[in-house]
Amino acid sequence: MISTNDVKPGMALDLPEGLCKVVDYQHVKPGKGKAFVRMKLKNLSTGAVVDKTFRAGENLPKATIDRSDFQYLYRDENGLHIMNMATYEQTVVPLEVVADELPYLVEGATIQVNRHDDRPIGVDLPASVELEVTYAEPGVKGDRVSGATKPVTLQTDLVIQAPLFVEVGDIVKVDTRTGSYITRVS
């Protein structure tokens, strides 16, 4: 059990509605009445996002999440095929579980998989990943305004805004939280 005062975004709670991940957390203390906590919860089995309100200090059941390092092998219609780095056991993660992370995953990458009752429920990505540029329009000579950007397509079909000097074949570092360009890797 965990108090609503100690809950943070990203935590998993085992509620009667099912296993839920805290997306947003807000502690509200009105001028009149008792304080309460408003949370935005994502049900990990259905994907539905709901708003729930709890009393401040109320105890909620915290879910036990196992985190293990896996290597991403390949993807097909069944999902992502991954291999446990410690036991070399292979498993499949359904595509709907990792839909938001797919644009940042390249084959052979090491990822951290979150599991609840031996069922994959999510993937933790590093803060940034390095991806190769597969398509970029050429920068026009004289078109060098400070801070100008252009759309570039990366090896995972992710399209980001990058500076005009980025070309096809360059390796760029991308922030996985915002999907924005960080720097070109030399």
Task: State if pTM tops 0.95.
Answer: no
d(CA 171, CA 131): 5
Instruction: State mean pLDDT over 107-117.
Output: 88
Instruction: State mean pLDDT over 39-62.
Output: 88
Structural domains of the chain, with CATH? 2-60 (2.30.30.30), 66-124 (2.40.50.140), 128-185 (2.40.50.140)
Mean pLDDT (the chain) is 88
Hey, is 95 helix, strand or coil? helix
Instruction: State mean pLDDT over 93-109.
Output: 88
Instruction: State mean pLDDT over 90-106.
Output: 88
Give the pLDDT of residue 116: 86
* Confidence at 158, pLDDT banded by 50, 70, 90: very high
Residue with tokens 């390095």: 130
